[in-house]
Structure 1
């Protein structure tokens, strides 16, 4: 047993498990109500699979939207595959959970942001620090708000960093 509890990796694992559970339910039952997802991921992750033209167009990271049209959502232990439409061109993607940088459901103002540490420790291994804990963005109220009327302005969800609240 090590001398410390690795809370950073434990939180990352738990939050990626939450994403897996949500996507598994969506694969089985579809997106309920107004739910939809903005998922930002690292396009250079060694296990990410996407068309060359997409990785060329989105070097480093890419945000995909799962809302009105998606197909072949397959959820696995290490990531998920989905076919999305890019300008009338359906393209399959495979996104490892470890490649996910943000997962946001703006319909209920819920989001997760995974921070990574760029520098290695002296022994050459990546060790999460307190700053590498995932941010948990504001969640939905206990009772869902009514859907806005067609004439009301719909406000985009805001991604808020909780860094200022950390000690």
Structure 2
């Protein structure tokens, strides 16, 4: 009986754990310095929770920004809850980690893109990518090509 090491799934789990660790720190101490996050997630994920008007406006995916104002950040094992401001209307969201498509902190040029499973491998893959490829306005429907970069470039 032969088995393979499922590197794609291991990377997927590790990178989502990194996001959880970062959010736990933010929940405890707040956002330091100029750090802020662009988080794109699948609005159709069965465990994602958002107002009907938001899911109607952003079918399939939505990018949220954690920067100047957010409230009620509650980081759990499988996802996080947060209240964000949409046109002066606070709205609670629940975003499962496995619904996240991209996570970007442009202040330090850090970004992750989570690729969907394909039929051949049946696993998810996560890869660090160029921040410029990931950061766009939340309403922008353009899908830039990803450029894989080495994590070494982010180490000091």
**TM-score scaled to structure 2, two decimals?**
0.83
Mapping 1:31-46, distance limit 5 Å:
31-46=31-46
CA distance in 1, matches of 2:2, 2:31: 42
Following TM superposition, by how much is the alpha carbon of 1:135 offset from its aligned partner in structure 2, in angstroms?
1.8
Cα–Cα, structure 1 residues 2 and 60, in superposed 2: closer, same or farther, change >3 Å?
A: farther
Q: Give the equivalent residue in structure 2 for 1:136.
A: 128
Aligned to 1:91: 91
Query: Computing the radius of gyration over CA atoms, which structure comes out larger, 1 or 2?
Result: 1
2:114 maps to 114
The corresponding residue for 2:147 is: 162
Kindly indicate whether the alpha-carbon contact (under 8 Å) linking 1:135 and 1:162 is maintained by their aligned counterparts in 2. no
The gaps in structure 2 that reach 5 residues or longer are: 135-145, 151-156
Higher strand share: 2
Long gaps (5+) in structure 1: 139-156
2:143 match: none
Structure 2 contact 128–148 (Cα < 8 Å) conserved:
no
Deviation at 1:133, TM superposition (A): 2.3
Q: SS of the counterpart of 1:92?
A: strand
Structure 1 residue 118: Cα displacement: 4.5
Q: Write the deviation string for residues 50-109 of structure 1: whole angstroms up to 9, x where unpaired.
A: 000000000000000000000000000000000000000000000000000000000000
Structure 1 SS opposite 2:115: coil
How large is the RMSD of aligned CA atoms in angstroms? 2.0
TM-score, L = length of structure 1: 0.78
Matched-pair contact (CA < 8 Å) for 1:41–1:61: yes
